[in-house]
Amino acid sequence: MTQSDILLTEAPGPAAPPVRRRRRRPLAAIPYVIIGVYVLAAAIGPFLIDYDPVATEVTERLLPPGSATGSGTAWLGTDAVGRDVLAQVVYGARTSFIIGIAVVTVCCLIGVALGAIAGYSGGLPDAVVSRTIDILMAFPGILLAIVIAGLLERGMHVVIIALSVGGWVGFARLSRSITMSTRERDWVDAARIMGVSKPATLKRHIVPFLAGSVVALATIELASAVLSEAALSFLGLGLPPHIVSWGQAIAGGREHLSTAWWITVFPGIALTILVICIGLVGDRLTRRFTRKRD
C-alpha cells in the first residue's frame, strides 16, 4: 500500500494526470475548509466570545439579528430569555465536537479491539462478539441512547456512554471482516509459523491494515454522534441545562418559530452544515480506502 502511494505520487509524465485532476478540483476542498472553520470556532471561539448559559437578560429577549444589546451587538439575535444566539452556536460547536470525538474514540477503541480479536481468533470469542453485535443491532441506536440517558442523571459523560453503547458495533463488524480476510494473507501465516505471539501478530500484522477503513468509518460515525447528541438535547435528555448545545438551543426556540425564527434556525444551520461536511469527507475517505483494499 505504502509503496503504491509513493509510486502514484512520484510517477512523472503520463501517469500523473489522474492525480492532478483530483487536486485541481478546488470545490473538493470546501468540506475540509468548513470543518476547519468549525474546529477553529470550537477551539478559540469561547475565548473570544464571553457567554454564561445561566445568565439571562429578560429585558433583551427575542431581539432580531443585529440588534444592539447591553453587552454589544447580538449578531444572530437573542433567545427567549435574552441570551445571545451567536454565542450559543459557538459554544454549542465545542460541545458537539467534544462529545462527537469522545464517542467516536470510545467506540473505535472498543469496536476495533473486539472486532480484531473476534475475527482473528474465531471460535467462541467470535461467536460471543458476533451475537452481541446482532443483539445490539436489533435496537435502533437512538432508542438505546434515549433509554440510557433517560435513566441516568444528566451529564456529559452520560451522553458519551449512551451514544457509545450502540456505536461500537459498526467498528467491530468492519474490523472483524477485514481481520478475517487479512488473517489468510501470507505474511500473517509467516508470522504464525515463526512463532510470533497472537497479540503481537494482531498488533503488528493486522491492525495496521484496519487503519484506513476505520478512519473512514470514524468520520461518518462522528457525524452521526453529533446528530444524536443534538437529538438527545432536543428531547431534553442527557446534557444539563448549563452546558450549551445546539439541540437545546433548537428546542428552546420551538415555541417562537413563527415570531423569532433566529433562535432555532442558526443553530440548525450550524448543525446541518457540519454534519453534511463531515459526511462528504467520510464518503470520500470510504471511497478511497475501499478501492485500495480491493
Partner 1 sequence: MTIRTRRSLAAAAGAVALLIGAAACSSDDPASETGGSEAAGGDLTVAGPIPIENLDPHGAASLDAGTQLAARAIFSQLVVSNGPGEFEGELAESWEPNADASVWTFTLREGVEFSDGTPVASADVVASFDRVLAGEGPLAGNFGGYTAAAPDESTVVFTSPTPDAAFLGKVSSFFVTPQAAANEGFFQDPIGSGPFVVESFEPGATLQLAPNPGYWDGEPALDSLEFQSIPEVAARMTALQTGEVDVTWAMPDDQIAQLRSDSNITVENVASPAVFTMWMNSSTPALQDSAVRQALWQAVDFESIIGSLYPETGTPADSPISPAVLGYAPQEPVEYDPEAAKAALDAAGFDYENTVIRWQFSQANFRNFVDAVVSDLAEIGVTVEPMEKEQAVFLEDLLALNWDMNLQQLGTQGFDAATNLGRLYTCAANRMGYCNEELDQILAEAGSTSDTAQREDLYAQASEIIWNDAVGMYPMFVEQPYAWRTSVEGFQPVPDGVPYFDEVTVSGD
Residues ≥6 apart with Cβ < 8 Å to 145: 162, 163, 165, 166, 228, 232
Is-contact 90 41, C-beta < 8 A?
A: yes
Tell me the closest approach of the beta carbon of residue 182 to partner 1, in angstroms: 43
Kindly state the smallest distance separating residue 61's Cβ from partner 1, in Å: 6
Using the minimum distance from each CB to partner 1, give the nearer residue, 180 or 235: 235
Q: Which residues bind partner 1 (CB under 8 A)?
A: 52, 54-59, 61-62, 80-82, 146-147, 150-153, 235-237, 240-241, 252, 254-259
**Minimum separation from the CB atom of position 53 to partner 1 (A):** 9
Nearer to partner 1, 192 or 256 (CB): 256
Residue placing its CB nearer to partner 1 in the complex, 199 or 241: 241
Q: How far is the CB of 81 from partner 1 (least distance, A)?
A: 5
d(CA 73, CA 81): 16
- The candidate with the shortest Cα–Cα distance to 270, out of 54, 108, 106, 42, is 42
Three cell numbers, residue 152: 441516568
Q: How far is the CB of 69 from partner 1 (least distance, A)?
A: 13
**CA distance linking residue 22 with residue 217, whole number of Å:** 22
What b-and-e string marks burial along 13-40, b requiring 16 or more CB atoms within 10 Å of the CB? eeeeeeeeeeeeeeeeeebeebbeebee
Q: Which is nearer to partner 1, 113 or 235 (CB)?
A: 235
Cβ proximity to partner 1: between 203 and 254 the closer is 254
